[in-house]
């Protein structure tokens, strides 16, 4: 029976490279694949799956409204499919993850999904949460923190390289916006920025209190 695989990691762990290698392995043996990537990801170009080492290939787009199961069934009318591969799988919806499971179980096509586990606030993405719940096989790909430990967290940074702890969950970016860190150094960087935010808030409040003090009337 076909299986649903979820390859997950932090940024810069080689998820897209691993996908491209898997796709090449299938095609080298004369087998047919169908590729997807998130429409929201336009870092290189929309519909392009690209690795940091320069490899890239075109793929179908998915957004929150895409019926992946229906599109796969349409493709099956034209040719046999031996594998379905999806990049940026964290952006899938719960319903789409269920579709992937049904593609394995009912159409007998293996599905390989690649994506981030958590966002910059250490919260699970919707797609990742349901892939962790439904996948037959979970594979963690290793990224390396600046300290040499395994990097499991994604730190968002601003233009000056300072940690960002607030904002939208989804913001597309590469090495200029995200750094892969181990949990310890992620927590330290977040604590630094939140401590600075608290210090600034206290300073602003003190200024307001000072401004509201009555001005002494000279006699």
Task: List the CATH code of the domain at 4-212.
Answer: 3.40.50.300
Percent of the chain with pLDDT over 90: 62
Mean pLDDT of all residues in 59-78: 96
Whether the pLDDT of residue 45 is over 90: the answer is: no
H and E: helices and strands count for the chain: 5, 13
Mean pLDDT of all residues in 210-219: 61
Mean pLDDT of all residues in 198-218: 61
pLDDT in tens, 181-190: 999 999 999 8
In the prediction, which pLDDT does 149 show? Answer: 95
Assess contact for 124 and 132: CB atoms under 8 A.
yes
Q: 65, 75, 88, 196: which one is catalytic?
A: 88
Q: Which residue has the tokens 């590469």?
A: 174
pLDDT in tens, 126-150: 999 999 999 999 999 999 999 999 9
In the prediction, which pLDDT does 145 show? Answer: 94
Sign of torsion, CA 67 73 77 82?
Answer: positive
Percent of the chain with pLDDT over 70: 83
- What are the φ/ψ torsions at residue 131 (nearest 5 degrees)? -70, -40
Confidence of residue 162 (pLDDT cuts 50, 70, 90): confident
Confidence of residue 214 (pLDDT cuts 50, 70, 90): low
The tokens describing 201, both together, are 């808030």
- For the entire predicted model, the pTM comes to 0.84
**Is 88 in the active site?**
yes
In the prediction, which pLDDT does 208 show? Answer: 67
Assess contact for 123 and 186: CB atoms under 8 A.
no
In 3D space, the residue among 62, 111, 70, 109 whose CA is nearest the CA of residue 88 turns out to be 62
Residues 6+ apart with CB under 8 A from 141: 7, 8, 9, 13, 14, 15, 18
Sign of torsion, CA 166 169 175 177?
Answer: negative
Where in the chain are the domains? 4-212
Whether the pLDDT of residue 218 is over 80: the answer is: no
């Amino acid at each position: 029976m076909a299986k649903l695989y979820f390859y997950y990691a932090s940024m810069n762990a080689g998820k897209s490279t691993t996908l491209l290698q898997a796709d090449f392995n299938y095609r080298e043996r004369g087998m047919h694949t169908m590729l997807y990537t998130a429409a929201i990801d336009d870092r290189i170009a929309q519909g392009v799956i690209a690795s940091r080492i320069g490899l890239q290939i075109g793929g179908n787009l998915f957004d929150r409204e895409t019926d992946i199961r229906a599109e796969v069934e349409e493709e099956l009318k034209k040719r046999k499919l031996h594998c379905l591969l999806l990049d940026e799988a964290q952006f899938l919806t719960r319903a789409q993850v269920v579709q992937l499971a049904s593609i394995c179980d009912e159409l007998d096509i293996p599905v390989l999904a690649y994506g981030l586990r958590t966002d910059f606030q250490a919260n699970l993405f919707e797609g990742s949460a349901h892939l962790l719940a439904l996948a037959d096989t979970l594979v963690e790909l290793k990224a390396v923190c600046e300290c040499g430990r395994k990097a499991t967290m994604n730190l968002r940074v601003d233009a000056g390289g300072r940690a960002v702890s607030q904002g939208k969950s989804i913001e597309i970016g590469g090495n200029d916006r995200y750094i892969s860190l181990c949990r310890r150094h992620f927590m330290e960087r977040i604590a630094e920025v939140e401590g600075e935010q608290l210090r600034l808030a206290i300073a602003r409040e003190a200024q307001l209190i000072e401004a509201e003090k009555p001005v002494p009337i000279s006699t």
